[in-house]
Structure 1
Amino acid sequence: MEPAAYIESMQTLVFRALRHMADRAKLAKAREEEDSYKHRAQEVHRRISFLENSRPDIVGAIDRLKRRKAELAKEMEQVIKAIAAEEKRLQDLPSVIAELKQERQNLAHEAIKIHRHMPEVPRSADDDQRTLDSADQVRQRAIAAINALLG
């Protein structure tokens, strides 16, 4: 083979070899990229499975929260009623106090009226008790004397 033909044939072989090496490098890079996509797809698949399996837990949490919301609404209603009752009491307070002051004044007038019409009782309670004790002693001596005579 002629040297020029040989060189040309060698150049063709070298270019082919270089192209094959470049193609293999592209292929290796494409396989790496393919593996990366497969791995990411598997991760996404796992996340999808996890999320699909979490549906009952989420529904349960929603149900619990709705029950708690109903309980809180009922409690809030009671608090609102209690506030309204206390506000009513506060609003009625001046008239209730005025009525009680009037009642206190009426009772005081009645007490004064009764006090003015009370008779004075002469002597002390101790003097009256001594008189009663003395009379009882006289009665007991009289009974003893009658019993002694009847004998």
Structure 2
Amino acid sequence: MRIPVFRALRHMADRAKLAKAREEEDSYEHRAQEVHHQINFLESSRPDIVGAIDRLKRRRAELAKKMEQVTKEIAIEEKRLQDLPSVIAELKQERQSLAHEAIKLHRYTPEVPGSANDDQRTLDSADQVRQRTITAINALLG
């Protein structure tokens, strides 16, 4: 009776090992399926990644163009800043020349005696005399 008991105990131990091995096998299969799904997901994401790279490269090219334009604008403004002292000096010289011309004209322009109002009154008075003369001549001629 002893041998059948040992055999039964060994069979039970073997069945436990077999059950544990099947659990591990199931676990490995499950993990293998998860890795397989992950591989498929990553392989299917390749076109999205390539598209993103292309989009970013186009954006980089656009930004490079903008950067080039900004660099040109900076150079233009720096040139304007560099030229500013000479432009200001030229304008100051022109201002001085114009002021000298104005002073020269002022010195050599003679003053007119009297006022514009006095001259206007004289002209109005002469016009009235002219009007009365015309009226008198018309009255005589009839």
Give the TM-score normalised by the residue count of structure 1.
Answer: 0.86
Show the counterpart of 1:101: 92
1:9-28 alignment runs, 5 A limit: 10-28=1-19
Q: How does 1:18-57 map to 2 (within 5 A)?
A: 18-57=9-48
Q: CA deviation at 1:97?
A: 1.2
Q: Does 1:137 align with 2:128?
A: yes
* Cα gap change, 1:143 to 1:57, in 2 (>3 Å): farther
Equivalent residue letter for 2:41: F
Give, in whole Å, the separation in 1 of the partners of 2:123 and 2:17: 136
Secondary structure (helix, strand or coil) at the match of 1:65 reads helix
Q: Structure 1 residue 140: deviation in Å?
A: 2.3
Partner of 1:58: 49
Structure-2 residue corresponding to 1:5: none
Q: Rg: which structure is higher? A: 1
Q: Compared with structure 1, are the counterparts of its residues 140 and 55 closer, same or farther at alpha carbon in structure 2 (3 Å cutoff)? A: farther
Residue ranges of structure 2 left out of the alignment (5+ in a row) = none
- For residues 84-99 of structure 1, the aligned pairs below 5 Å read 84-99=75-90
C-alpha deviation, 1:93, in angstroms: 1.2
After TM superposition, what 4+ stretches of structure 1 lie above 4 angstroms from structure 2? none
Moved more, 137-146 or 63-72: 137-146
Q: CA RMSD in A?
A: 1.4
Pair 1:70 & 2:54 matched: no
- In 1, distance between residues paired with 2:82 and 2:37? 65
How far the C-alpha of 1:67 sits from its partner, in A, is: 1.5
- TM-score, normalised with respect to structure 2: 0.91
- How many matched pairs? 142
Q: Distance in 2 between matches of 1:60 and 1:143?
A: 101
- For 2:137 and 2:27, how far apart are their aligned partners in 1? 136
Amino acid paired to 2:68 = E
Q: Which amino acid aligns with 2:53?
A: I
For 2:139 and 2:9, locate their aligned partners in 1 and report how far apart those are by CA, in whole Å: 163
Where do 5+ consecutive residues of structure 1 fail to align?
A: 1-9
Indicate how the Cα distance of structure 1 residues 67 and 148 shifts in structure 2: closer, same or farther if over 3 A, else same.
farther
Deviation of 1:120 after TM superposition, in Å, equals 0.7
Name the counterpart of 1:118: 109
